[in-house]
């Protein structure tokens, strides 16, 4: 079992054991990510970051991860400045990029873009989000956050609140959690429920999934409350967006009924789903979650580019 040279397109590309390997390596990376120790694990490695859709956290955490390990990266951060603007296909762009660096991290607005890139590239491709599709490194850092808080992923009760239809982080995370025997509770505005095919896949995988109308009651015995933003950019119709925007908000009143150890997670950016008053409570895990993106990506890059965990 090795991740060396492998693509990471979907969390389904990884077995439970491989996910555990990444999480163990990520934990060891924390002092390096915090700058308390230094590493040259990626010295002489050059990573290409091709971001064809806006991103702050994902792009900067990949850049940080590479540099914390002594590697270098070249970045396309503005698609309007690339030759795709001239009509070059993603296939050709990726084929070229794969001859420049040792691996490609891709964010793209079309679903399936990373799969296509992996076919076009002879270097490893890591999917950093393809449209409403997959975002496996987000899933890994979400799992790392829960693992750090509870020491395990087995038996956790995780409530998903928000846009479960377009929220790609939810689909991948729900799948991964089902591998670890977590219990999933779904709560969303009626028009933004989990797509049937995702639900069917979870049922087929034997996941324990229930639905909750009221977030108050769902939160009461939960270990994790995973909140997502309603993504305006996924709606074709502004009126449809306006109908559901602002339909839920987590504040200290809701959290008053929760277990003391409940953690609130959010892939960020938030746009009002979590009141700022929650930030000062022990429940708030979303900024720690964003930080853990760095050691998780350090671990992953190290395993994929060198075959070693740091």
Binding site for other proteins (CB under 8 A): 10, 89-92, 108-113, 115-116, 119, 130-134, 197
**CB of 100: closest distance to other proteins in angstroms?**
20
Q: How many CB atoms are located within 10 Å of the residue 65 CB? A: 28
Q: Which of 59, 107, 171, 229 is catalytic?
A: 107
**CB of 67: closest distance to other proteins in angstroms?**
30
Q: Which of 6, 57, 115, 249 is catalytic?
A: 57
**CB of 226: closest distance to other proteins in angstroms?**
21
In the residue annotation, 57 being an active-site residue is answered as yes
In the residue annotation, 135 being an active-site residue is answered as yes
Query: Are 199 and 39 contacting, i.e. CB atoms less than 8 angstroms apart?
Result: no
Q: Which of 68, 135, 171, 229 is catalytic?
A: 135
Nearest by Cα to 123 from 104, 107, 96: 104
Nearer to other proteins, 70 or 109 (CB): 109
State both tokens at 9: 């397109």
- Give CA–CA dist 296/300, Å, rounded: 6
In the residue annotation, 107 being an active-site residue is answered as yes
**CB of 98: closest distance to other proteins in angstroms?**
15
User: Which residues neighbour 264 within 8 Å (Cβ) at sequence distance 6 or greater?
Assistant: 224, 225, 227, 250, 255, 274, 278, 283, 284, 285, 286
Query: Are 25 and 302 contacting, i.e. CB atoms less than 8 angstroms apart?
Result: yes
- Give CA–CA dist 81/70, Å, rounded: 27
Nearer to other proteins, 59 or 108 (CB): 108
In the residue annotation, 86 being an active-site residue is answered as yes
Nearer to other proteins, 26 or 176 (CB): 176
Nearer to other proteins, 195 or 272 (CB): 195
Nearest by Cα to 158 from 106, 225, 86: 225
Length of the chain: 310
**CB of 196: closest distance to other proteins in angstroms?**
9
- Give CA–CA dist 194/188, Å, rounded: 8
Nearer to other proteins, 115 or 270 (CB): 115
Active site residues: 57-58, 86, 107, 135
């Amino acid at each position: 079992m090795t991740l060396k040279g492998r693509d990471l397109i979907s969390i389904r590309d990884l077995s439970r054991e491989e996910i555990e390997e990444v999480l163990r390596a990520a934990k060891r990376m924390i002092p390096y990510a915090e700058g308390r120790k230094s590493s040259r694990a990626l010295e002489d490695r050059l990573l290409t970051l091709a971001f064809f859709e806006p991103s702050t956290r994902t792009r900067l955490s990949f850049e940080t991860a590479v540099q914390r390990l002594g590697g270098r990266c070249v970045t396309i951060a503005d698609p309007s400045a690339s030759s795709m603007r001239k009509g070059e296909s993603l296939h050709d762009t990726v084929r070229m990029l794969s001859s420049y660096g040792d691996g490609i991290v891709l964010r793209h607005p079309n679903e399936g873009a990373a799969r296509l890139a992996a076919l076009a590239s002879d270097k490893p491709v890591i999917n950093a989000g393809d449209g409403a599709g997959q975002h496996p490194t987000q899933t890994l850092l979400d799992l790392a956050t829960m693992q750090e808080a509870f020491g395990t992923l087995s038996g956790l009760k995780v409530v998903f609140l928000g846009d479960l239809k377009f929220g790609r982080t939810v689909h991948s995370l729900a799948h991964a959690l089902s591998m670890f025997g977590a219990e999933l509770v779904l709560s969303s505005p009626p028009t933004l429920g989990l797509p049937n095919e995702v639900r069917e896949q979870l049922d087929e995988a034997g996941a324990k999934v229930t639905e909750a109308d009221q977030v108050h009651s769902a939160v009461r015995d939960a270990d994790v409350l995973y909140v997502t933003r309603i993504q305006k950019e996924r709606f074709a119709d502004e009126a449809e967006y306006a109908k559901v925007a602002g339909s839920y908000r987590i504040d200290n009143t809701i959290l008053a009924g929760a277990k003391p150890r409940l953690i609130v997670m959010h892939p960020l950016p938030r746009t009002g789903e979590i009141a700022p008053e929650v930030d000062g409570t022990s429940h708030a895990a979303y900024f720690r979650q964003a930080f853990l993106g760095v050691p998780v990506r350090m671990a992953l890059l190290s395993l994929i580019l060198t075959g070693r965990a740091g």
